[in-house]
Structure 1
Amino acid sequence: MNEQSLLARSIRTILMAGVSSAFIAVPALAQDQSSNTENQNAEDVERIEVTGSRIKRIGELAPTPVTVISGDSLIDAGVNNVADLLNDLPSSSVGISPETSNNTIFASGLNNTDLRGLGSERTLVLVNGRRFIGGSPGSSAVDLNNIPTAMIERIEITTGGASAVYGSDAVAGVVNIITKKSFDGIELDVSTSQPTQSGGEDEFASFTFGSEEGKATFITNLSWARQKQIKGSDRDWYVNGPVTIANPENVDNTDGIPARVVYAYAPQSLRFYSRTVDFFGPTGHYTFSNDGQLRPFEEGEVLPAGPPGTTNTNYYIGEGDGYSFIENGYLRTPLDRVNFSTIVNYDINRDHALTMEVNWANSQAYGESSPAFFGGLPIYADNPFLPQEAQDEINAAGGVVGGYYLAQDFGNRQYSQDRTTSRIALGLEGSLTDTWFYNAYATVGEVQADTRWYGEMFEQRFYDAIDAVEVDGEIVCRDEIARANGCLPLNIFGRNQYSQEAYDYVATDAIREAEIGQTVFGATVTGDMFMLPAGPIAAAFSAEYREERSETLPDPAMRAGLLFNNQSQPLSGEFDVSEASAEFSIPLLADMEYVQSLTLETAYRYMDYSTSGTDDAWKIGLNYALNDDFRVRLNRSKSVRAPNISELYAPPGQTFRSLSDPCSQSNIDNANPKYQDNIIANCRAQGIPEGFEPSDEWKGVTQPGFIVGNEDLVNEVAKDITVGVVWTPSFVDDLSLTVDYWSFDMENMIQYFSGPQVVQYCYQASTLDNAFCPLIERDPNNFEIVNYFEKPVNSASSETTGVDIEAAYGFDTEFGAFNFRVISTYLDKRQFNSTGFEEDLQVLTGEQSRPRWKGRFITDYKIGDFSAVLIGNYRHATVADRDWDPEVNNYNEIPSYTTWGLTARYDITSGLQVRAGIQNMFDRIPPQTPFAYDQGAYYDLRGRRITAGINYRF
């Protein structure tokens, strides 16, 4: 069979499979789909394996919808990280990204994708059909930073449940990254992306070389990428973000007046936490100059007072001494990556081949937040570091006041992440007969993930050091035991007023070391069993054994809870699973009137987990082809997800959350009427009196709590349905339309309840006898919440349905070739119930994280050595909360959001290509509403940016 015939058959395979050709490079596909050597016969070469099935097929309708993205699409999109492209697809959402992880201490810099918005843990990422090691301890979610983009041939995405074929985690679908298998020559690639505002620059360099001569072929790549930080002060739309207040005109929750309104678009600060200590005395609000002298606290325009119990006047806009949200805001985590990858293939003979994949990656990122902060800091009048004027003011207040301090002298708290991933995969594949093939492999992966904290301090040492007195003419720490342990007095009334020795006694860095390990052994045989009148029954039989393990070892000071805002215990957990699966493709009818083909697709997988026990997954489907133009597929499956190590074994780890106490009278007055009676009854049952309000100090700081695992968790279960049609009319060249309806019904979902949720569900329940109230601790004297526990349970369920629509059309003209592609997703229903109680069912369809419509439009144009691609990404208008009513606020509506990018390439010679582009060409900023303006998971925070690159191959 000649090359032209082979290519034609490959194109037919893609179209008949209903695969989106929106980004596909067909010639590369025709070459790389083969798992056999170039000396095999043409029938073997054309037999391919499409993601969603282990069966190698010839020109059949794929059992599940598959979208294929070519490696070149990364270049067209102006990105150098596969996550940046996946997260723009309508079927996907951001799991974790540098735009969302700055304040997530152990996750800064991670890049996870999230199919259908069902969670990164429910999206299985494969590399060449094999599992890849997770990116963070205790989690199975793959860090896409570890996949070098220069090695990507294509990405195949199926968004139906695929546990029966691939095992746990494939609930929402599978992202299968197919790498280049060989390369002949040397290739250099360099690119840059420069925003028109400072911050967020990207740089990339790649070196690839390989050989395709003889029995041994290989490809090796070394690449480096750097993305720079975006501070809040780098973006004018963030500096002048929306400021909301409790509406002074609001009376109650029945007057038709919104409780909160947008007051201004301006920098906002808190009226406390100066860099030199501030306090309220009998005659005013004071702070200290840099040299330690008392002066009045300076502030801008104080926000107008709201209804009783609200805290508007705790904030001001403009310049001042208080805590600046803009100055301490960060929109994008800086990230440096180095990737090394090599793939070696060796043909033992015409029927058998060895493969080896080696991956090594290092990523370094850091999150950054404000310096340590202290509220209610006891300041005594006899502190000898205080000037006389301050001592007099504090004596007039009774000898002690509560101070507020932002420890700027200790620097911003930074969370440095250093992750090193090593992986090797060995495979043996080939043919047993003309129609039976095998693939056996073993992979071993390790991740070393170290987190280091800067700008930290020993909290109790700090309290001891600032409480100074004068003894025998010498300034010392007041507490004698602390003095005996080396305490040195620390002067925080001003800037840099202390000795280096005193600073060293209090300041420290801390580290947490973490290790992840994965070992997988697997084998698959696939082929034709026997003939039926409509054709042969094709089958695939697989077996797999997998071990996962994770360990963390926090700094001794962290384990002892001695550091500000950080307490963590070691994690150590592991599990193993043995699995066996069988998949069959059974032709029922063929070459009949109105039935070109009708095929039954079915699969079953048995799983035995050392943690959650035995379980199974299955799928059954029908593929029907009326003719070459019109095809239909139906699929029904059960998928499972086993709890991961972190969910099972997480030790108590300290976290901090901003809480709103439902028992405060102001919250009761504005509570949802549906729950108001329950909240009142539960609060009174705990002895909390009417009119209770937490102190301003409690409201002004985040509250401590603990995250804990649960070894009693069981597997999540998902039932999904896919019904699709594929239309490729023979009377119109290069036109295709695919429409797929999909539905996910999930039960026993593992749900972490954050501190705010624990508090909310406790008091919204019909009685205090629920799963949440035991997770809350209150001070018996003032009733303020002092502790809470965040623990996962199998309590949640969800239902998600929607429609995917993909269309493609291309044509040639005398002045070039044009291709148009549209990929869109319509979300029909998204319901979620975190507790299992009927009254807690939430309809989330059309909220910000789940818009009704998402779309991607691609136009590419080529003439001679020049090509250009125009890409548009669209998010439909949403709301912040579907439970909203006019009493809540006046800013629930979030407008639609569209960005456009243009990239052009020109081949100067056969080996030299230059490219340039402009992304977010109209400089579209996030919607300027309180719930949207800083959300990097949904909107472009970088703004307009110019991209340029050069590629040289020889």
Structure 2
Amino acid sequence: MKITNKAHAVAFKKSSLTIGLSAALFSGLSFQGVAAEARTAEKVERIEVTGSRIKRADIEGSSPVTSIGRLAIESSGVQNIGELLQTVAQADLSGLTQLTNNTNGNDGSQTISLRNLGDNRTLVLVDGRRFLALGGGQVDISQIPIAIVERVDILADGASAVYGTDAIAGVVNIITKDGFEGVSLDASIGANFEGDGEYKQAGISIGTIKGNTSLFLNISKSEEKEIGAGDREISQYPVAYIPERFGSAFGLYGIFGTSDGNLSLDPAKEGDGIRTADDFEPFGTKHRYNFAPTNYLKTPSDRFNVFAKVNHEFSDSLRAFVDFTYNQRKSVTQIAAVPLTAGFSGPQWEIPFSKDSIYNPFGEDLASFGFRTLPIGPRTNIQDYDTYFITGGFEGEFEVADRVLLWDVSMSRGDSSRSVKGQNYVNLQNLRNAVGPSFIADGVAQCGTADNTIAGCVPLNIFNGETGFTSEMANYIGYELNDQVNTGTTNFAANISGELFELPAGWLGFAAGVEKRTNTFVDSPDALIAAGLSSSNFREPTNGSQTAEEAYFEFAVPLLADLPGVQQLDISLAGRFADFENSGFVGVDPVTSNFDNESFKVGFTWRIYDDLMLRGNYSDTFRAPSVDNLFAGGGEGFPSVQDPCNTTQFGLQLPDVQARCLADNVPSGGSTQPTGQLRALNGGNPELKPEEGNTKTFGIVYNPSWLDGFDMTIDYYKIELEDALSSISAGGMLDRCYVQGEEEFCGFIERREDGRIATVRTSQFNLDQLEVEGYDFNANYRFDTQDLGNFVFRLNGSYTDKYRSAGVGENINSANNRVASINSDILRWRGTFNTTWSYDDLTVTWGMRYTSNLIESCTIPDNFVDDGLATRELCNQRGNPGDENEAGFNRIGSVVYHDLSASYTLPWQASVRVGMRNVFRKEPPIALNPFANSFYSAHDIPGGTWFLNYKQDF
């Protein structure tokens, strides 16, 4: 991977590009014409680097930036931007999981999270501009085809003063190709060494410059095939190597809540025939269902992309530009067939199985029953995305008092439409009909009674196992859901920059500008979902928008130069002022809110001598809550929670807690709670305010003159965040209301007439404090030989020293600061090391990717192997009897992956590249915490991959 601490000037330059501010106020100052001519001559060398809006010839800034160039991208063999960014040392486990694992219910999008702070605290730019974001503020980077990417800059610094909201953890700036002439065709194929996960891509790039107009067009098509969880040993069970214990209670033998307890069909009695109550036995492990094999580890997708750039130069001082992106993506997610959870879940599942059903063998109404609807088929969501984003504007320069000022004005518009077709879900109204009274008429099973027949209904039989569940039954209760989600953005920006006047140490540079941005988000659930009549979790509609009006300034001030110990000392100053107006709906009620923010940044660069430079920054950071944070409709979930007022907990409570329970319609002695799960609806909170904090960085840049071709950087960072958004769980809501007596939280709790919990509303609040601290380091060494070719070595790494969080009422200094802590998924070390050898037309790259170990608490009893429940030991650090953690720990070992690629330039303007990722097919270490499989997304899908690329230029 190509890693450098300096941005590449040629790739980022758009002729002489952007900004300049009218300096009429300074026209009375004296400037020499010679200086103006010199600045005009060097104008084309001025570029904008990620982290600053000021165009300058010296691209060494105060902010740490890591770049991944085009050669490194091609050598890596990655299939998309998500896979590329997953290898970045500053990235964490919470981002980029959708196309690798943990695909339960996702939509195939890819996002990026830095510093373990979440994808909504990492700002993603395309060519230095904001791109179309999802409802939560994060960017789906799968919309950007890898074929058009020239390089990727990762700014590991808070940049709210420069770029605005969301840039708390850092900025990812995706730079697209520019200045291309000719025609280029390229095609790639690849697959996992296990024979699945096939990948195909083909594209054409056309670039031309005719007179004063340049055009770049890229059209590409890619296809990725799925990898099933059942096709890998580590993911074929919900917890690896434990075949039965952790399967679902809702399986093919049913679970029926009878007066004799929860019963299931004896597996030996599965099949045709009339069932009696004697055919059932108490529910046990053997009745559980393994849902894991149906899931995808890798989500299949098809993408079609069109990307175009047009630039026209009216004169030396005025140009117009238009950038256009269109992306169509079809992806498919798949999980196990619907589990019927009547009586075990939310109010829509309060569906009794009638004693008058012709199939009910128990002679009593069943208040609860469950069954896996395998005859209907797995839940398959077909995602159809259509996205476009267009930016147009003018840029140029003018001269005032012998000073060249740069300016640009642009307008952007983007829209994304996501249609979801969900196959093999269950219509709960039809289910209610099918499990109600039924009878036989003329040899045909009918729903209802002879006097009140339900037309078209087919009575449901789940008492004979899979055999009794016929295709007619499946067709009646099964249905296809349709969701629609729309996001939109409109951005206006005007910028100006240049040099104001000369100081003894150099010219004072500046940038300033204004922006206006509107984001909209509309989520329209399927009609049955919104009505609570679908087996898919209930979800309320969302409709909201946010408008931000912002102004910023930035100065680069040279303080000292050409002194002993101070070759050059510069400081940078930046500030941004923002106002946000929000409007949306909570239920059917319109709601508006507003807030503002001011952010400032100060940095320095101190070049001690040619070889050594110090740099540092202190910056305010902030993130405005997104439309989704503010106005999201409630989405249903079923967390494991104990009601403090239930029959088992009531007697354990203090008198004041019991009194609060009784005052809320709870019967004396407590309310019933049939299962360990309660229904929760998690939605937006229109009262949220921005998260605010600060970032400190300090770094060393060393380019020793005694070792030609070598450079290195080490940067320290510390991020502190106040008023961070944090959800109060259903259990937290109940505790705050009844145990702590905070009445404002009692309004989030809804009980039935009999006192049972019906729903607990949950949301986010400005509660948390976060603190992250660590180090980044880069080293590059290049040398050439006369006989053996050229060698390049590149090292990129990140070390997280502390990660601390604390909720309201807690002191962050007393919170856990151990990174590899119990139940933590925070990697202490991440890094890459790459060696590239070039000889004539041959280039070979060997890469290594490293992730450090993690430690998690052991949730698997030590008797599982002896009792035959597990086929191998999963916890590798068992405790001793009497220890505080007697169960012990599971140490997830460190991993080194090796990648190899080679390219050869052919005589007919062509090149071929072949390579492998995870050459030695390293297996991921077993983890117990991930849902639905047993390894973290930072680790590769087992098997390794190969790829082949051919490129032809004309």
TM-score range, shorter chain: 0.7 to 0.9
Give the CA deviation at 1:918: 1.3
- Relative distance call for 1:60 and 1:947 in structure 2 (3 A) is closer
Alignment match of 1:895 (pick from 893, 904, 911): 893
Trace 1:395-794 onto structure 2 (pairs within 5 A): 395=363, 403-433=369-399, 435-470=404-439, 475-478=445-448, 483=453, 487-494=457-464, 495=466, 503-611=474-582, 612-652=594-634, 654-661=635-642, 686=661, 698-699=675-676, 703-755=678-730, 758=733, 762=736, 767-769=740-742, 775-777=748-750, 785-794=757-766
Does the aligned pair in 2 maintain the 1:92–1:113 contact within 8 Å?
yes
Structure 1 residue 441, shift from structure 2 partner: 1.0
CA-to-partner distance for each residue in 1:254-296, whole Å, 9 max, x for gaps? xxxxxxxxxx644556474343645588798425635455499
TM-superposition CA deviations, 1:329-387 (whole Å, max 9, x none): 4323222221110111111122222111010001122322222212457555553246x
Give the equivalent residue in structure 2 for 1:845: 819
**Separation of aligned partners in 1, 2:509 and 2:858:** 48
Rounded Cα–Cα distance in structure 1 between residues aligned with 2:456 and 2:640: 37
Q: Deviations over 1:795-814 (max 9, x none)?
A: 11101111111111122232
- Paired with 2:116 and 2:514, the residues of 1 have a C-alpha distance of 30
Q: Is the 8 A contact 1:380 1:400 kept in 2?
A: yes
SS of corresponding position for 2:50: coil
CA distance in 1, matches of 2:607, 2:558: 12
Determine whether 1:169 maps to 2:146: no
| Alignment map for 1:139-218 (pairs within 5 Å) | 139-218=136-215
Task: Report the Cα distance in structure 2 between the residues aligned to 1:87 and 1:379, rounded to whole angstroms.
Answer: 49
- When residues 485 and 446 of structure 1 are mapped into structure 2, their CA distance, relative to the original with a 3 A threshold, is same
Q: Contact 1:108–1:333 (CA<8 Å) still a contact in 2?
A: no
Give the whole-Å Cα distance in 1 for the aligned partners of 2:811 and 2:273: 59
Q: In 2 relative to 1, CA 379–551 (structure 1 residues): closer, same or farther, beyond 3 Å?
A: closer
Are 2:838 and 1:869 aligned?
no
DSSP 3-state at the match of 1:418: strand
Structure 1 window deviating more from structure 2 (925-934 vs 898-907): it is 925-934
Could you list the per-position Cα deviations for residues 868-899 of structure 1 after superposition, in whole angstroms to 9, with x for gaps in the alignment?
A: 11221111112236999843632343221221
1:33 aligns with 2:32: no
Q: Which residue of 2 aligns with 1:8?
A: none
* Residue 726 of structure 1, CA deviation: 0.4
- Residues 382/560 of structure 1: CA separation in 2 closer, same or farther (3 Å cut): closer
* Residue among 301, 314, 318 paired with 1:352: 318
Alpha-carbon distance in structure 1 between the residues aligned to 2:818 and 2:654: 23
Q: Distance in 2 between matches of 1:314 and 1:689?
A: 30
2:2/2:71 contact within 8 Å kept: no
Aligned position for 2:118? 119
In structure 2, C-alpha distance between the alignment counterparts of 1:627 and 1:619, rounded to whole Å: 26
One-letter amino acid of the structure 2 residue matched with residue 941 of structure 1: I
Cα 1:48–1:76 shift into 2, 3 Å? same
Q: Shift of residue 782 of structure 1?
A: 8.1
Gaps of 5+ in 2: 18-36, 344-350, 583-593, 860-878
* Partner residue, 1:16: none
Q: Percent identity?
A: 27
Instruction: Flag the 1:772–1:453 CA change in 2: closer, same or farther, 3 A.
Output: farther
CA distance in 1, matches of 2:80, 2:518: 28
1:63 partnered with 2:62:
yes
1:461 Cα deviation (Å)? 2.1
Q: Which secondary structure state, in structure 2, belongs to the residue aligned with residue 92 of structure 1?
A: coil
TM-score by structure 2 length? 0.84
Q: For 1:213-263, what per-residue CA distance to the aligned partner results, in whole angstroms no more than 9, with x for missing partners?
A: 4211111111122222222211012236756xxxxxxxxxxxxxxxxxxxx
Question: What is the deviation of 1:196?
Answer: 2.0
Aligned to 2:79: 80
Instruction: Give the CA deviation at 1:935.
Output: 3.9
Following superposition, the deviation at residue 537 of structure 1 comes to 0.7
Distance 2:116 2:470 in 1: 52
Which of 765, 783, 803 aligns to 1:830? It is: 803
Query: Is 2:770 the partner of 1:795?
Result: no
What is the CA deviation profile of residues 156-182 of structure 1, one whole-angstrom value per residue up to 9, with x for unaligned ones?
Answer: 121111111111111212111111123
Return the offset for 1:81.
1.1
1:938 aligns with 2:938: yes
CA contact (8 A) 1:870 1:903 kept: yes
SS at match of 1:200: coil
Task: Return closer, same or farther for 1:349/1:123 CA change in 2, 3 Å cut-off.
Answer: same
Shift of 1:110: 0.6
**How far apart in 2 are the matches of 1:285 and 1:882?**
30
Cα deviation, residue 679, structure 1: 10
Is the 1:900–1:920 Cα contact (8 Å) retained in structure 2? yes
CA–CA distance in structure 2, aligned partners of residues 379 and 713 of structure 1: 44
Corresponding position of 1:91: 90
Cα separation, 2, equivalents of 1:328 and 1:682: 45
Contact 1:125 1:131 in 2 (8 A): yes
Output the amino acid matched with 1:54. R
2:868 matched residue in structure 1:
none
Q: 1:464 to 1:60 in 2, by over 3 A?
A: closer
* Distance of aligned partners of 1:240 and 1:417 in 2 relative to their CA distance in 1, 3 Å threshold: closer
**1:909 corresponding residue in structure 2:** 907
Query: What is aligned with 2:357?
Result: 383
What one-letter code is carried by the residue in structure 2 that aligns with 1:538?
Answer: G
Other-structure match for 1:286? 265
Shift of 1:488: 4.1
CA-to-aligned-CA distance 1:582-624 (integer Å, 9 cap, x gap)? 1001111111111111111001111111133221111011111
Q: Give SS of 1:73's match.
A: helix
Verify the 8 A CA contact 1:457 1:506 in the aligned structure 2.
Answer: yes
Distance across 1 between alignment mates of 2:668 and 2:199 = 55
Please, which moves more after superposition, 453-462 or 929-938? 929-938
**Residue 133 (structure 1) aligns with:** 132
Which amino acid letter does the alignment assign opposite residue 384 of structure 1?
A: I
- Map Cα deviations across residues 773-819 of structure 1 (whole Å, 9 max, x no partner): 65445667586x54222211111110111111111112223212111
- How many residue pairs match? The answer is 874
Q: CA deviation at 1:913?
A: 1.2
Q: C-alpha distance in 2, partners of 1:298/1:235?
A: 36
Q: Deviations over 1:687-715 (max 9, x none)?
A: 799999987x724xx65321221111111
Counterpart CA distance in 2 for 1:109 and 1:401 is: 37
Q: Is the 8 A contact 1:34 1:47 kept in 2?
A: no
Give per-residue Cα distances to partners, 1:31-78, cap 9 Å, x unaligned.
Answer: 6435329x9965112111111100011125312111111123222221
Question: Counterpart amino acid of 1:834?
Answer: G
CA distance in 2, matches of 1:817, 1:487: 75
More moved, 565-574 vs 770-779: 770-779
Query: Structure 1 length normalisation: TM-score?
Result: 0.84
